[in-house]
Amino acid sequence: MPRNIEKTLRVCFHPKEGKPNLQKVPVNVDRAKQHIDKSHRNLRAMKMMFDNDLFDWTIICGYYAMYHAALAALFNIGIRATAHYCAIAAFKKFYVEQGKVAPEYINYIKKAKHLEQKYADTLEKAQEERVVEQYGVEILTNDDAEWIIEDAKDFVLKIEEVLAK
């Protein structure tokens, strides 16, 4: 994935081969609501996983809660994303860089990439960690997963606030 956000967006909207991973579509408030609903289901699943000491799945569910909230935000401005890194780049460009969402909300998501770090600044790193946690065999602890409970809730609530405006 290209690191430069403009280059990433160009590749996502206009790939050399295949279908674009970002497409301009009509604003779809219903689809945005469906993604917010899915975010809430993932928040509930996250809590159940945490309560049952399934900390790897706590992080995965927390990531997906935030990811679906980001997809909701994109549908709200007429963008459909089919790849995580493209959705994250578009969310950064059209929400964080435009000042609609404070950069701290991106920080919440990078924590899923680097469990040992307390703060971070990119959503794409959470997606990478989701892959590590989902397919890896590392043992996680309560401390590794506890942070995501509030961060994921805050992220989803913030997106709901933005969409309500």
Does residue 2 have a pLDDT over 80?
no
Question: Does 42 map to a domain?
Answer: yes
Tokens of 50: 């945490």
Question: Does 130 map to a domain?
Answer: yes
Q: What is the pLDDT of residues 128-161, one digit of tens each?
A: 666 555 556 566 778 778 888 888 899 999 999 9
Number of domains in the chain: 1
The single residue listed with the structure tokens 């509030």 is 150
Question: Does 2 map to a domain?
Answer: no
pTM: 0.81
> What residues have CB less than 8 Å from 60, skipping those under 6 apart?
130, 133, 134
pLDDT at position 1, please?
A: 45
Q: What is the pLDDT of residues 66-121, one digit of tens each?
A: 999 999 999 999 999 999 889 988 998 999 888 888 887 776 765 553 432 332 33
Question: Does 7 map to a domain?
Answer: no
Question: Does 152 map to a domain?
Answer: yes
Tokens of 77: 């401005």
Residue 71 to residues 49, 119, 159: CA-CA distances in angstroms? 23, 23, 10
Q: Which residue has the higher pLDDT, 137 or 164?
A: 164
Tokens of 5: 């956000």
Task: Average the pLDDT over each of 33-37, 48-52, 136-140 and give the range with the smallest value.
Answer: 136-140
User: Dihedral sign, CA of 108, 21, 135, 3?
Assistant: negative
Residue 110 belongs to a domain with what CATH number? 1.20.120.330
> What residues have CB less than 8 Å from 101, skipping those under 6 apart?
73, 91, 95, 158, 159, 162
Does residue 61 have a pLDDT over 70?
yes
> Rounded to whole angstroms, how far apart are CA atoms 48 and 60?
12
98 burial level (CB within 10 Å; 0-12, 13-18, 19+): exposed
Structural domain harbouring 65: 21-164
Backbone angles phi, psi at 38, to 5 degrees: -65, -35
pLDDT at position 111, please?
A: 58
Residue type, 102: A
Question: Does 13 map to a domain?
Answer: no
